[in-house]
Chain A
Amino acid sequence: AQSVAQPEDQVNVAEGNPLTVKCTYSVSGNPYLFWYVQYPNRGLQFLLKYITGDNLVKGSYGFEAEFNKSQTSFHLKKPSALVSDSALYFCAVRDWGGATNKLIFGTGTLLAVQP
């Protein structure tokens, strides 16, 4: 069965510093991987995805993620954090095992950027 793990419940970083939010995956087929962000009292917003192609994918708001097949990881990164980046981040993987195109979500990582 497909799954994703986000090992950190919370990541703290100072504004201006680089940030990394970790995600590892387990899939039985080709990994379709996604990052979403949830701001307080808001829905989920799509940030970026890896389907195929370059291992480094760029997304919204200056975020990027690196697909690493050997380490089965898809960490989210940003070179310089902003206070406004503080939110809940979810990694997700497409589930190929069922009849629908559902996403399997990680448990989420709360990013706190201090001024």
Chain B
Amino acid sequence: SAVISQKPSRDICQRGTSLTIQCQVDSQVTMMFWYRQQPGQSLTLIATANQGSEATYESGFVIDKFPISRPNLTFSTLTVSNMSPEDSSIYLCSVEDPGSETQYFGPGTRLLVL
């Protein structure tokens, strides 16, 4: 399976600021995904990051709040913009292993907004 890293692993931010989270994969993958896990809750997909095209956002998530970049087949970033305490969550990127129908997840970025 792919090895996925995320930076930063955790951060504490002030409300109104923005944070960019990086996701790096050790192999080329077509589909990368960004999920949010709010405290004590399950995972919810924010968007699918497609290389060379705009990200596809799920209902309730908008590009102005969560802009995504996907410059190549091994890297993506998610920005959490104009943060509020409600954005305090774990943000996880995942990739789909070609041919296995399986998504593998990075270690997550733990964000606390004060």
Determine which of A45, A49, A90, A102 lies in contact with B42 in the assembled complex, contact meaning CB atoms within 8 Å: A90
Q: Number of residues in B with C-beta < 8 Å to the partner?
A: 23
Q: Are A100 and B56 neighbours in the complex by a CB distance under 8 Å? A: yes
A100 near B43: Cβ-Cβ < 8 Å: no
**Size range of the interface on A?**
20 to 34
Contacting residues of chain A (84-112) with chain B, CB-CB under 8 angstroms:
90, 94, 99-103, 105-108
Residue of A nearest to B93 (CB): A43
- How far does the Cβ of B8 sit from chain A's closest Cβ, in whole Å? 14
A56 interfacial by beta-carbon distance below 8 Å: no
Are B102 and A44 in contact, CB atoms less than 8 angstroms apart?
no
For A34, give its contact among B56, B102, B110 (CB under 8 Å).
B102
User: Once bound together, how far apart are the Cα atoms of A49 and B103, in whole Å?
Assistant: 10
> B33 at interface (Cβ–Cβ under 8 A)?
yes
Q: In the docked arrangement, what's the CA distance between A8 and B102, Å?
A: 25
A57 to B13, CA, bound (A): 43
B106 and A100 within 8 A (CB): no
A94–B102 alpha-carbon span in the complex (Å): 9
Map CB proximity to A onto B23-61 as digits: 1 under 8 Å, 0 otherwise: 000000001010000000111110010000000101000
Q: Are B33 and A36 in contact (CB under 8 A)?
A: no
The complex places the Cα of A105 from the Cα of B33 at a distance, in Å, of 14
**Interface on chain B toward A: helix, strand, loop, or mixed SS?**
strand
CB–CB A44/B48 < 8 A: no
Interface flag for B17 (CB, 8 Å): no
Chain A 43-72, CB-CB to B under 8 Å as 1, else 0, gives 111100101000000000000000000000
Q: State the Cβ distance, B2 to closest chain A Cβ, in Å.
A: 11
Docked pose: A71 CA to B110 CA in angstroms:
37
Which residue of the partner chain B has the closest CB to A108? B42
Q: By the criterion CB–CB under 8 Å, are B33 and A102 in contact?
A: yes
Q: Which residues of B contact A101 (CB under 8 A)?
A: 31, 48, 96, 101, 103
In the complex, 22 of the A-B residue pairs with CB atoms within 8 angstroms, ordered by the A residue number, are: A34-B103, A42-B108, A43-B106, A43-B107, A44-B92, A44-B94, A44-B105, A46-B1, A46-B103, A49-B101, A49-B102, A51-B101, A90-B42, A90-B43, A94-B101, A100-B31, A100-B45, A100-B56, A101-B48, A101-B103, A103-B43, A105-B43
